[in-house]
Structure 1
Amino acid sequence: MRSLSCFATIVTGISLTGITLIFGSLFPHSASAETTKPLLNPNDRVAIVGGTLVERMQSNGQVEGQLQSRRPDWKLTVRNLGWSGDDVHGYARKRFDSPREGYSRLMADIQVADPTVVLLAYGFAEASDGERAIGRFADGLKRLISDIQQTNRRVILMTPFPLPGFKTENYQESIAQAREIVQTVGKETDSAVISIAWEPSGKEVTADGLVPNEKGYERLANELADALVGGQPHPVQDELSQQIVRKNELFFHRYRPQNETYLLLFRKHEQGNNAVEIGEFPPLIEAADKKIWASAAQ
């Protein structure tokens, strides 16, 4: 089993129902968050899907911690399906096959998480990959939303926001286009959109400026929680944060097991008998969820 340190390093509109939540950098907890009905419901199972930004959420616990702390009686279940470099086409998730197989893996990952609602945070990789990637973004996003909705799951979209470390040509214009695409697709697909208008400062991102740091994720956690569960910001206790990180690690091993080649793929004839251990993770993950709910309620 991978160590926690290894896990941490591996680990990025307007709807038809009128749900648009805009959070400005000057007003991180706007009045709209207090008056708009939360997008989540009690007992929801939430899968957060995206690229590097999402994957790195696993190692600090701020986002889920804020959701659980604000609504401890809701007993939310949160599963992180972030994958570094991922886009709406799932190319980063492919193994030894064609790029299009990465999309099949993306849909399979969502199935493993078994959510009632999927929060999609795409557009970051597309904006950094240039004009061609932006040109394919809308169609890819609509296909992904359609496939998720066909499984009777709700979809919530989060707009991308600029990160200061990206220096690719026309990056600001690409981010603006990606944001507009997310908002437009949200309207076309009747998906709720959380519009994040935050431009992180140098103190809110890692040294390379490519993802938020602990302080940045704390800021992002509050903005997402305003839209998802409402209520007031709540300090995330260290014990709760640590329990969330531990649960995330367990789920990471469940849906991205170490040595997949030997367990599930073309070398499974050598160690495939060990794949039975993957099935031992769900009870551990469920027990970790219960500890999280208990800590959040204290």
Structure 2
Amino acid sequence: MLGRVLFLVTLLSIPRLEAITFKDSDVVVFLGNTVIERAQKYGHLETSVTLAAGKKNLKFRNLGWSGDSVFGHARSYFGPPKDGIGRLKADLAELKPNVVIVCYGALAAFEGDKGLPEFIAGYEGLLNMIAETANPREIVLVSPPPAESLGDPMPDMTEHNQRLAQYSNAIAELAKKRKLSFADFYTAVGTGGKGLTDNGLHFHEKGYRVIAPKFTKALGLTPPNESQLESERGGKLRETIVAKNKLFFHRWRPANETYLRLFRKHEQGNNVKELPMFDPFIAEREKEIETFRQSISTVK
């Protein structure tokens, strides 16, 4: 209880994110581990932010990678972590994002006190790389969401939520130190919800639908209203976002990566030239997204 009180008191001293600043035609990258990667499958987070951005025509790219860390462990495939960071660096250099929304800490929090210094040091390195590689206009650090206690036979996540609160606090302090925006996703979601995850950690479709407006609000934006989201056009917008995300996923994370870019590229590496062929299809989906966005803006 004391730790939770201290967490809240500390957060009071940290400037809140008034509103993320988007400009027309911005490329926005979502970066993080499981909570970010799984979001592309359902489209709720991106749909909510798309509509909350008003008249801005944005292009979103999801670079989330399940199980990833600030050191790029999961992205490294068969090599050392530096290979994962190298891959991410190449992705950012190609995408040239104007805004990067970063959400790490959910996995690292399992290490508790002993892992916190290493996590923050790694986060610093990651942020340095992002700034040097892409030089985005804005970087937003998002705290990890809380875990759920689903009852027997699932574990009680109260203690883990205390660790998540601790890591959220440290991320907020890091944002303050680097003069970056901080989005308090942990507090926005809250620890009282049940039935939003598959296992206490990973949100399912209903979970993302529930947390999407909370995520948007944590970014300092006004979430779209239910009539917009539940309209036929709102449904089509989300479906098109999901379709676009699927195309982009296959573009940057092809299933046969080993043959295209890694140690078996001598067999099929010539087919890597086909990856850019996804780009026109992605562009078509984005035109449809913009058409739906414009039409939905008239729904009250």
Counterpart contact for 1:41–1:74, Cα < 8 Å: yes
SS in 1 for 2:242: helix
> Could you tell me how far apart the structure 2 residues matched to 1:231 and 1:130 are?
34
> Given the alignment, which residue of 51, 55, 69 partners 1:87?
69
Deviation at residue 232 of structure 1 after TM alignment: 4.6
Say if 2:197 is the partner of 1:205.
Answer: yes
Say if 2:174 is the partner of 1:185.
Answer: yes
Aligned to 1:257: 254
Deviation at residue 121 of structure 1 after TM alignment: 0.3
Counterpart contact for 1:128–1:168, Cα < 8 Å: no
Instruction: Quickly say closer, same or farther: Cα 1:136–1:249, change in 2 above 3 A.
Output: same
- In the superposition, the TM-score normalised over structure 2's length comes to 0.82
Deviation at residue 84 of structure 1 after TM alignment: 0.6
Aligned to 2:221: 230
> Given the alignment, which residue of 119, 144, 149 partners 1:160?
144
- Give the gaps of 5 or more residues in structure 1: 1-12, 22-35
The answer to which structure, 1 or 2, has the higher relative contact order (CA under 8 A, 6+ apart) is 1
Say if 2:183 is the partner of 1:194.
Answer: yes
The 5-angstrom pairing of residues 1-298 of structure 1 reads 19-21=15-17, 36-71=18-53, 73-150=55-132, 151-153=134-136, 154-164=138-148, 170-196=159-185, 197=187, 198-199=189-190, 201-206=193-198, 208-228=199-219, 230-234=221-225, 235-236=228-229, 237-298=234-295
| AA matched with 2:29 | A
Aligned to 1:25: none
| AA matched with 1:163 | A
| AA matched with 2:163 | S
| AA matched with 1:92 | A
> Could you tell me how far apart the structure 2 residues matched to 1:296 and 1:120 are?
24
Deviation at residue 269 of structure 1 after TM alignment: 1.5
> Could you tell me how far apart the structure 2 residues matched to 1:38 and 1:74 are?
12
CA deviation profile, 1:124-174 (whole Å, cap 9, x unmatched)? 010124444323111111111122122321210111132126768952332
> Could you tell me how far apart the structure 2 residues matched to 1:290 and 1:218 are?
24
Give RMSD over aligned pairs.
Answer: 2.4
> Could you tell me how far apart the structure 2 residues matched to 1:134 and 1:222 are?
29
Return the structure number with greater helix share: 2
> Could you tell me how far apart the structure 1 residues matched to 2:31 and 2:112 are?
21
Q: How high is the sequence identity, in percent, across the aligned residues?
A: 34
| Count of aligned residue pairs for this structure pair | 270
Instruction: Quickly say closer, same or farther: Cα 1:125–1:268, change in 2 above 3 A.
Output: same
Counterpart contact for 2:36–2:62, Cα < 8 Å: yes
> Could you tell me how far apart the structure 1 residues matched to 2:61 and 2:76 are?
20
- In the superposition, the TM-score normalised over structure 1's length comes to 0.82
CA deviation profile, 1:10-52 (whole Å, cap 9, x unmatched)? xxx87x9x7514xxxxxxxxxxxxxx44433332211001111
- Give the gaps of 5 or more residues in structure 2: 1-9, 150-154, 296-300
SS in 2 for 1:193: strand
Deviation at residue 274 of structure 1 after TM alignment: 1.1
